[in-house]
Amino acid sequence: MAITKIWPVKDSLNRVIEYAKNVDKTENPDFLNSDLYQVLHYAADENMTRFERQYYVTGINCAVETAGQQMQITKERFGKIGGTLAHHACQSFKPDEITPKECHAIGVKLAQKMWGDKYEVIVSTHLNTNCLHNHFVINSVSFIDGKKYNERKAEYQRLRDTSDALCREYHLSVIENPTKRKRSQGLYQAEKRGELTRYALYRSDIDEAIERSMTMKEFYDYLRRKGYRIKGKIDSCALKLPHYPRFTRFKTLGEAYSVLQIQDQIYRQRGPEVREKSKEPILFFVPTPKKLQIEDILGFGEEYRKLRNLYRFFCYQLGIYPKNKGQVSMSPIIKEEVRRMEEISQQTIFLCKHQIDTYEQLKEKQTEIQTEMDDLISQRKKLTNKMRRAGPEEKELLSQQKRGLTDQITRLRRDLKLAAGLENRSLDMVKRIETINELVDNKKLISREKYAKTENYLK
């Protein structure tokens, strides 16, 4: 199984070439244990020793040692020096599925089929991670006709198809139906930290609805009772809570949360008798009925309902309501409010701990935390450089010091995030106050105008 990526390089051509040719990542481990290496290690000619070490680096239409100069000469020859300098591609394989030699051979074949007829390419195989992977540095200008390489969607699809064909040729696994949607990095990190994200909230409520439903109608009704809005056909059915601006499709939450999978789970958890009697058809459209509640009739609306539910939740948590009648299902709106309250609570503790009373003091504290964090990061970097040259005992001691610095940096990053949240909240409050003042001034002005018109009319 190989995963492919490609992206443009616009900052430095030599940087990306040197990264691809890094000797610590591309050196052949089999050669290091051979008799030839032992002989060459004592040779006087270091250049010959370097050349014969058999790094997993290959140049296509260029020499490995002078690849950067050759690519630059091609650019100058056709007068195309600016813009995208090169393209950097990667081909990563499944752990323990392939040998370094096969990995490099597949990489060279892939580069020859994709770019070998028109472009200069460096192919390097990195062995420093659990997953063997190839790096490709492609000159952006063709040495044949001077045309620039266009990294469009069709070209990336060709790269993926060519890589899959080579994997099948070498009897390697292939991803048959790759997912096109990519999860955002911020959402991934938040879920990794165990935070209650919007997607995690949706998944937990859907799981709860599946357990308490015997039909898809019961499933949708249960979600609506919890405050969700649902719309769409079966392939694009989506849900959302009132305080979120956009709908989220069920299938975006994962393959297990598509409408067909949910229907299958509900069908499987029925008894055998129910399965025989009822084979429920798929609901191609999920209407959202309008339900009037007493708060709407009296004119209180959604805000009153949120406050009432929040009050009930806290009564339950404080023990005012009995807890021996089974577990109370918490509304997703209440979960969101609790999460915000926890955030505000942490920010309040931060303000009290550092005795911050003004916006200027908050900015000074942010600068102080950032300076301290930069200093610790610099110290940790120095320790990392020492660990590369240290012995086993000294390396263990330096590793402990590095872990201590990492813990301090983590705490400072948390404080910096709290300070940034306080700053945003404060600026938002200032804007709201200004908006309210403007509305009040406008109302006063309108009242004065009406009063003046009335006086003129009476005169």
In this structure, what CATH number is given to the domain that contains residue 137?
Answer: 3.30.930.30
Q: Flag whether 330 is in a domain.
A: no
Could you say which of 267, 291, 315 is where a domain stops? 291
Q: Which of 262, 291, 320 is where one domain is finished?
A: 291
Q: Are both 378 and 286 inside the same structural domain?
A: no
What kind and span of H or E run contains 350? helix 332-354
**What's the whole-number mean pLDDT along residues 204-217?**
87
pLDDT of residue 180: 56
Q: Which pLDDT belongs to residue 212? A: 85
Highest mean pLDDT among 91-105, 192-206, 280-294, 313-327: 91-105
Res. 228: pLDDT tops 50: yes
**Within this chain, do residues 130 and 208 fall inside the same structural domain, yes or no?**
no
Do 47 and 151 sit in the same domain of this protein? yes
In a shared domain, residues 153 and 196:
no
- Nearest alpha carbon to residue 103 among 136, 78, 77, 75: 136
Average pLDDT rounded to a whole number, residues 316-321 = 65
> Is position 333 within any domain?
no
CA dihedral (56, 62, 66, 71) in degrees, to 10, reads -120
Q: Residue 32: pLDDT band by 50, 70, 90 thresholds? A: very low
Among 18-22, 56-60, 125-129, 163-167, the least confident range: 18-22
**Short-list 326, 181, 322, 173, CA closest to 251:** 181
pLDDT above 90: percentage of residues in the chain: 14
pLDDT at 111 over 90: yes
Q: Cα separations (Å) of 233 from 36, 239, 252, 289?
A: 67, 12, 14, 16
Residue 124 lies in a domain: yes
Residue 430 — pLDDT band, cuts 50, 70, 90?
confident
Contacts of 209 (CB under 8 A, 6+ apart): 219, 222, 223, 226
pLDDT in tens, 248-269: 888 888 888 888 888 888 888 7
Average pLDDT over residues 369-398: 86
Domain check: are 110 and 215 in the same one?
A: no
Q: Do 393 and 271 belong to one domain?
A: no
- Is 280 domain-assigned? yes
**Same-domain check for residues 364 and 271:** no
Whether 157 has a pLDDT exceeding 80, the answer reads yes
* Least confident among 94-98, 327-331, 418-422, 446-450: 327-331
Q: Is residue 339 part of a domain?
A: no
Q: What is the pLDDT of residue 300?
A: 47
What value does the mean pLDDT take over residues 366-371? 90
Average per-residue pLDDT for the chain: 76
Residue 139 three-state SS: strand
- The CA-based dihedral angle spanning residues 104, 109, 111, 115, taken in that order and rounded to the nearest 10 degrees: 170
Q: 6 and 136: one domain? A: yes
Tokens of 417: 């995030």
| 57-61, 393-397, 440-444: least confident range | 440-444
pLDDT at 59 over 60: yes
Which of 208, 182, 183, 343 has its CA nearest to residue 266? 208
Same structural domain, 126 and 218: no
**255 domain-assigned:** yes
| pTM for this model (two decimals) | 0.45
Decide which of 111, 142, 169 is a domain's last residue: 169
Question: For the chain, what percent of residues have pLDDT higher than 70?
Answer: 69
Domain match, 253 and 229 both: yes
Confidence band for 31, pLDDT divided at 50, 70 and 90: very low
Q: How many domains does the chain have?
A: 3
How far apart are alpha carbons 8 and 179 in whole angstroms? 23
Determine the structural domain holding residue 22 and report its residue range: 2-169
- For residue 141, the SS3 value is strand
State residue 119's pLDDT score.
Answer: 93
249 located within any domain: yes
User: What pLDDT does residue 442 have?
Assistant: 75
178 in any annotated domain: no
- What's the average model confidence in pLDDT over 43-60? 53
- Tell me: pLDDT of 161 over 50: yes
User: Which pLDDT value is given to residue 306?
Assistant: 61
